[in-house]
Amino acid sequence: MVFLEAKFTILIFCSVMMFTNFHPTLYLDLPIVRIENGEILGEEHETYFAFKGIPYAEAERFAPPRRILKRWYQIRKFDKFGEQCAQYNHMEYNFLGSENCLSLNVFVPKSVLKSRDSVPVIVFIHGGAFMFGSSIFYGADIIMQEQNIILVTINYRLGVLGFLSTEDEIIPGNLGLKDQVEALRWVQRNIKAFNGNSNKVTITGFSAGGASAQLHILSSLSNGLFNNAISHSGFALNPWVVMENAKAKAYQVGNYLNCNFHKNHKPNHKMLLQCLKKVPTEKLVMAAKIFQPFLYNPFSPFGVVIEKYNKHPFLTAHPKVILENQKYQKRPYIASITKDEGLYPAAEFYNNETIKEIDENWERLAPFLLDFNSTSNNNELKLEWSRKIRKFYFDDEKITINNFHKLIKLITDRLYKNGFYNSLVLQSSHSSNLYCYHFTYNVTKSFTDDLKESKNYLGIAHGDDIFLIYNNRRLNEYSNDELIIAHDFVEMYRTFSQTNNAVYANQSIKPIKSSSFECINIAAVANNRMIKIENTFGEVDFWKTLNIPE
């Protein structure tokens, strides 16, 4: 009789699995989710289930990502994050990660998995200047307290492995962005299994991830894969996004690694590719250091390229040209900036020795710090730009600890605020449902605290808002006000993903219009107001006078 009962139970379990049609079932009190490749188990948290390290694509070195067709026929548990993508960790000065890294994580509130209702989906793209970073650094605890959102975080190839390009069909480039596209396709095919709504997908990202989110709006390759987008502290027109001299950099990497890629005294890209495929991963990744002569600056020597000679391009024109010509998806969009973005990378310069080196070697170092060394081959012109920039921001002062705030402002304007302003000005001429916020709240633990040697307060840094939303510290380390602000951000996410309207702390954010450019200023729990953003923001007019071609 016991045997018959056991057999009957197994039959019922199998029958349920056959007819669930992607809806979750339970096994040992854990939900089983059937995705296209097979059945998976997650990891239980207090308010949600986490499915970590799910492979979404596979790829050979310097090849586009491919959908994984192989199925598995036993239940697989995904309770550990996948490998970080191979990278140089400039915080700890070492190599880490793997080339087998194309995985994503799905976080689902318990109430969502137990229901039959579909909910909006947030897909988060991590930052790291297209050079480093991983989805593992962005927590889900805050977002999962909102019981009507699914969160997906993704890994993508970085640095040389993700963005090296010979500017032709041999190594076309933008592989990291194409990885992101493949992850979005995975979401479209599989998110229903978690009770997610594939028609309400919001892509969002931080820093390079924020720029990526805006680039997906501009790319025809991403058509139909999402509904709206949010960019935090990174935009398509930031000077570090589009890579100049991509082909020359590929040659430099080849020469550095002792590749013989010349045929009849001319560079042969197929020979270069074959050589680079044989180089050990660590040596290939670390080759990027040859483009960073001062600490890790410029922080993004490899980035986005324009693909003129590829059958399946991510970008066919410069982002500015695409925006000017209105040839992009008119999606609802939120852009955000913090007051002192330039603390990344400036916080690491906050010591007397490094500041002295910057002051005494300004004309040599400025092109690398401010990312215009590869913009022009004219050294006299770069010297002129360096001198004009120093005069404008410092007049005749030496650069010291005492006026370090001026260096922060300079880097903030050049590397972040100009791109923020110029992107939105172009987009606002042709798009509705366009919003922005300016973050000026002083958090108790800043993203840049680990970069600087001093405990002195320096400002509202790059990432200070994003790490409230995607907690990288324990919730009991949040102040009460920080918890309120974080929950207001999550409510903004939810409302935007459902309605395409932006609301923060029960206050509607006005859409940006070309004639009235306003952002909500998030300064405190109960003191937020719309502020007008003019061309003094980021000293846009000054930078236009330099006419740096990018």
Domains of the chain: 42-59+117-546 (3.40.50.1820)
Confidence at residue 28, expressed as pLDDT on a 0 to 100 scale: 57
219-264 pLDDT, tens digit per residue, is 999 999 999 999 999 999 999 999 999 999 999 999 999 999 999 8
Average pLDDT taken over every residue of the chain = 91
**SS3 annotation, 246-306:** HHHHHHHHHHHCCCCCEECCEECHHHHHHHHHHCCHHHHHHHHHHHCCECCECCCCCCECC
pLDDT band at residue 532 under the 50/70/90 scheme: confident
Task: With cut-offs at 50, 70 and 90, classify the pLDDT of residue 535.
Answer: low
Residue entry with tokens 């081959």:
377
Examine the pLDDT at 203 and tell me if it is beyond 60. Answer: yes
Instruction: Indicate the length of the chain as a whole number.
Output: 550
Confidence band for 26, pLDDT divided at 50, 70 and 90:
low
Reply yes or no on whether the pLDDT at 405 is more than 60: yes
Q: Directed axis angle between helix 269-278 and helix 246-256, to 10°? A: 50
Which tokens sit at 80?
Answer: 């550990």
Helix or strand (DSSP H, E) at 216: helix 208-218
Out of 56-65, 433-442, 533-542, pick the least confident.
533-542
pLDDT at 272: 98
For residue 457, what pLDDT band results from cuts at 50, 70 and 90?
confident
Looking at residue 229, what DSSP letter applies?
Answer: E
Residues 6+ apart with CB under 8 A from 418: 237, 238, 239, 538, 539, 540, 543
For 461-494, the pLDDT digits (tens) are: 999 999 999 987 888 889 999 999 999 999 999 9
Q: How confident is the model at residue 12 (pLDDT cuts 50, 70, 90)?
A: very low
| Largest distance between two CA atoms of the chain | 94
Tell me if 471 sits within 8 A of 539, measured CB to CB: no
| pLDDT reading at 194 higher than 90 | yes
Comparing 447 with 501, which gets the higher pLDDT? 501
Smallest CA-to-CA distance from 208 within 376, 57, 416 is with 416
504 contacts 494 by C-beta, under 8 angstroms:
no
Compute the average pLDDT of residues 100-106.
99
pLDDT of residue 364: 97
* Residues with active-site annotation: 207, 341, 462
Question: Of 200, 57, 223, which Cα lies nearest the Cα of 118?
Answer: 200
The arithmetic mean of pLDDT across residues 76-99, rounded, is 92
Helix (H/G/I), strand (E/B), else coil: 122: strand
Q: In the predicted model, what is the mean pLDDT of residues 123-128?
A: 98
Helix axis angle, 404-412 relative to 352-360, nearest 10°?
A: 70
Binned at pLDDT 50, 70 and 90, residue 456 comes out as confident
Question: Which of the 8 DSSP states describes residue 461?
Answer: B
Residues 6 or more apart from 46 whose CB is under 8 A from it? none
**Whether the Cβ atoms of residue 120 and residue 149 lie closer than 8 Å to each other:** yes
pLDDT higher than 70, residue 150: yes
Q: Name the 3-class secondary structure at 224.
A: coil
| 25 confidence band (pLDDT: 50, 70, 90) | low
Residue range 377-390, pLDDT digits in tens: 999 999 999 999 99
Residue 327 has pLDDT above 60, yes or no: yes
Average pLDDT over residues 512-536: 80
Over residues 444-454, mean pLDDT: 77
How is residue 436 written in tokens? 């922005």
- Find where tokens 């199925």 sit: 71
Asked whether the predicted pLDDT for residue 546 surpasses 90, the reply is: yes
pLDDT band for position 102 (cuts 50, 70, 90): very high
Residue 286 φ then ψ, to 5°: -70, -15
Least confident of 27-31, 75-79, 329-333: 27-31
pLDDT at site 152: 99
Task: Check residue 169 and give its pLDDT.
Answer: 95
% pLDDT > 70, the chain: 94
CB 305 within 8 A of CB 173: yes
Rounded CA gap, 347 and 326, in Å?
38
